[in-house]
Structure 1
Amino acid sequence: MSTLTSGDYVIRAIRPDDWPRVKELRLSALRDPIAHLAFLETYEEGAAKPDSFYQERAARSAEEESVARQFIAEAPDGGWAGSVTVLMEEAGMTDWAGYAVDRRQGHVVGVFIRPEHRGTGLIKALFDAGVAWARERGAERVRLLVHEENARAQGAYRKVGFVPSGVVVPYVRDEAQNEMEFVLEWPS
């Protein structure tokens, strides 16, 4: 995957030697005030993972035949402004929530834009890279799950072309809450 630019940002897939920055960005995301609605782990859980976890994650993402690819947005000052990860799911497998996957699809996870970079259109550039990667691998659609109370994320996902599918998935941490699935269907 080559790099592309969006305004003054560079959008690219992570490399193995990026692992310290992958870790720092993830921990920043887990400190966000609505992280409890957006991520399936806490800051404490993320911080407790050994460096080898982040090293392996970066190395796997960079492999050509990877089933997951993390894209980052590098700001003009060299800092990382945000990230999107896409996982490939195969028809016949079971997803993390125990549901059967009925077609080859991308599954967006780990979406985070640092607060000072929100509202710039950066999320669209990251999603464009992730969706293009999934499409190159034969995905029939790309989906993501978003907590029903995370209105900010829902609005951002609608702006980049995702629509509600009508599927509701029980939320892992509290069975009284639900996540909503948004899908982006390829044109026929």
Structure 2
Amino acid sequence: MAEAPRTVPGQDLTIRPFGPSDVDLLAAFFEAVATDPAADRFHPHPFTPEAALRIAEHQGRDLYVGQFLDGRLIGYGILRGWDEGYQTPSLGIYLAAEARGQGLSKALMDDLHGRARERGAEKVRLKVYKNNIPAASLYEKLGYVFLTEEGEQRVGLLDLVSKGGGR
């Protein structure tokens, strides 16, 4: 299924799925993620050149998108679990250090919520470390409800049907 790039009004901000031509760009981004101390809270998969190749060439239902500001890759988002048969995808995002604190996380989350809704998801799931207060605060503002915990993480659900999930 081909996914269209989306732009954010008022900014040179584009969010689009990765494709085969993005493998080198994604591998370089993953190298930066792997050396970022804040990334110890984001570990959906290894951040290796092999993972970059697998994601850039991915053909399943799971979705991997890049957030580009002025043409530079500054964010990474995932919706996954569909390939394994789950109806509720798990969402994850990562923003480069220079992109944090500018409201760009919300734009990426809103985009992923919209894409999940377009693919028929009624809910989206995510995990956040209990000590990651800024992220948990954003997720709660977006409508996530945290009812369970798994170790040091809280598990949140967003009802895309009743809450709207942004946009």
Q: 1:14 to 1:38 in 2, by over 3 A?
A: same
C-alpha displacement of 1:87:
0.6
Aligned residues: 158
**2:62: which partner in 1?**
68
CA contact (8 A) 1:11 1:72 kept: yes
**1:88: which partner in 2?**
81
CA contact (8 A) 2:89 2:123 kept: yes
CA contact (8 A) 1:143 1:183 kept: yes
C-alpha displacement of 1:145:
0.6
Give the % identical residues: 25
Match of 2:88 among 99, 102, 105: 105
**1:2: which partner in 2?**
4
Q: 1:26 to 1:52 in 2, by over 3 A?
A: closer
Q: 1:72 to 1:160 in 2, by over 3 A?
A: farther
C-alpha displacement of 1:180:
0.6
C-alpha displacement of 1:133:
1.8
CA contact (8 A) 1:88 1:134 kept: no
C-alpha displacement of 1:40:
5.5
Q: 1:38 to 1:150 in 2, by over 3 A?
A: farther
Deviation string 1:121-163 (CA, Å, 9 cap, x unpaired) is 2112211221222222221200101111111221232333323
C-alpha displacement of 1:73:
1.2
Aligned-residue RMSD, C-alpha: 2.3
CA contact (8 A) 1:11 1:74 kept: yes
Which residue identity lines up with residue 19 of structure 1 in the other structure?
Answer: V
**1:96: which partner in 2?**
none
Q: 1:116 to 1:135 in 2, by over 3 A?
A: same
**2:43: which partner in 1?**
39
Match of 2:122 among 128, 131, 140: 140
Gaps of 5+ in 1: 94-100, 171-177
Paired residue secondary structure (2:106): helix
Q: 1:29 to 1:135 in 2, by over 3 A?
A: same
CA contact (8 A) 2:113 2:160 kept: no
Which residue identity lines up with residue 145 of structure 2 in the other structure?
Answer: V
Runs of 4+ in structure 1 over 4 Å off: none
For residues 57 and 90 of structure 1, the distance between their equivalents in structure 2, rounded to whole angstroms, comes to 13
C-alpha displacement of 1:9:
0.8
C-alpha displacement of 1:37:
2.6
C-alpha displacement of 1:86:
0.7
Deviation string 1:2-61 (CA, Å, 9 cap, x unpaired) is 1121222111111111011222222322322222233266xxx63xx4x3432122111x
Alignment of 1:96-175 (within 5 A): 104-109=87-92, 111-164=93-146, 166-170=147-151
Which residue identity lines up with residue 13 of structure 2 in the other structure?
Answer: Y
For residues 80 and 57 of structure 1, the distance between their equivalents in structure 2, rounded to whole angstroms, comes to 15
